[in-house]
Amino acid sequence: MNANPPSAVALKPLYASLAFALVLMAVGLLVVGKDLLIPIAIAVLIWYVLNALAATFGRIRVGGKGAPGWARMTVAILSVVVAIAAFVELVNANIDAVTRAAPGYQANLERLVADAARRLGFSDIPTFAQLIEQVDLGGAAARFASTAADLAGSTGLIVFYVVFLLVEQQSFDKKLAALFPDREREKRARKLLHRIQVEIQTFIWIKTLMAVLTAGVSYAVLAIVGVDFAAFWAVVIFLLNYIPTIGALIGTVFPTVLALVQFGTPLPAVIVGGVLTAANVVIGNVLEPRMMGASLNMSALVVILSLAIWGTIWGIAGMFLCVPITVVAMIICSHFPAARGVAVLLSADGKIDTGEDD
């Protein structure tokens, strides 16, 4: 006579252990395979941006007619290429300007350090040259060269992936239909993919709008105070705003420190830091949550945790990608009954779209 099969209660510890092992395996794969996965993730995000731009250009009508799909995508690609080229040119121009202004910054910095040391009662004040001697410039240069080489290699790989995604998207519909012969399952799969696309594009547009607003306010403040390289810092602040929470903070610290070193007195730095912080608080804590929360319905705590987790796993790239990845995870979990609890935890108010028709 066969023994009774184990009950569901008895198997729960086994299921829990198996789930924990799978999570550890997934995290290990993310860490070990980050050199391969990060370019793919960035390429997918750029692909989404290009399609969003093409869709936006498609709304432009001339004589009641819109441009064909290939023309819209061509303009979208050219727009991104021009934006990247303009940023690179801006960086190169500011590197030259910083080199010329460096002696003045050094003099102001040494005077500020000397004044601070005297106020604190220190008698032996190190010079700027002595401080530089304590820095391993050779090691820093080697690390910088290695990072630049990795970035260059990843850039080529990302472009390669983007090109193939653009080519392959022409056959996505046919492949999806072949993958799901059942019309009902195909309908649900299309709905899931469409929702992911809409949510990611919504995040990108809202984040871009907030970044443009923050960069515009920052440029106005820096230009009025007279801080050097105001346009460059506005672009940097624009890019850093795509990193949740800490991006705005970093974007405030750099120009504030520059104002202190440039003018040699604390008042301009206090004005820059105070106004930029106030702008970030209003935009980041009032405007953005109202627009982002209503559309993405993602918990603020989850955003912070995902920033910490993905930043630890994938570094700076993970910080930029943490919200889109979490959005995709929440949407996918909401469509499967066994994982809907995870989607509820990731949401802001516990209300999720299960993808089921009412």
| DSSP label at residue 348 | S
pLDDT confidence bin for 17, thresholds 50/70/90: low
Q: Are 76 and 58 in contact (CB under 8 A)?
A: no
pLDDT at site 358: 45
**Look-up: residue for tokens 């209003």?**
282
Contact partners, residue 335, CB within 8 Å, separation at least 6:
188, 192, 354, 355
Q: Give pLDDT tens digits for 18-77.
A: 666 766 777 778 878 888 888 888 888 888 888 888 888 877 777 667 778 788 888 888
pLDDT at site 149: 61
- Report the alpha-carbon distance of residue 209 to residue 295 in Å, rounded: 14
**Mean confidence (pLDDT) of the chain:** 78
pLDDT confidence bin for 312, thresholds 50/70/90: confident
Q: In sequence order, what are the beta bridge partners of 315?
A: none
Angle between helices 300-334 and 34-58 (to 10 degrees): 80
Q: Give pLDDT tens digits for 87-145.
A: 878 877 777 777 777 777 777 777 777 777 777 766 665 555 555 555 454 554 555 55
Note the pTM of the prediction, 2 decimals: 0.75
Query: What is the pLDDT averaged over residues 213-226?
Result: 92
Q: Give pLDDT tens digits for 232-287.
A: 889 889 888 888 878 888 888 888 988 888 888 888 889 999 999 998 888 877 77
- Report the alpha-carbon distance of residue 171 to residue 258 in Å, rounded: 51
**Rg (the chain; Cα; Å):** 25
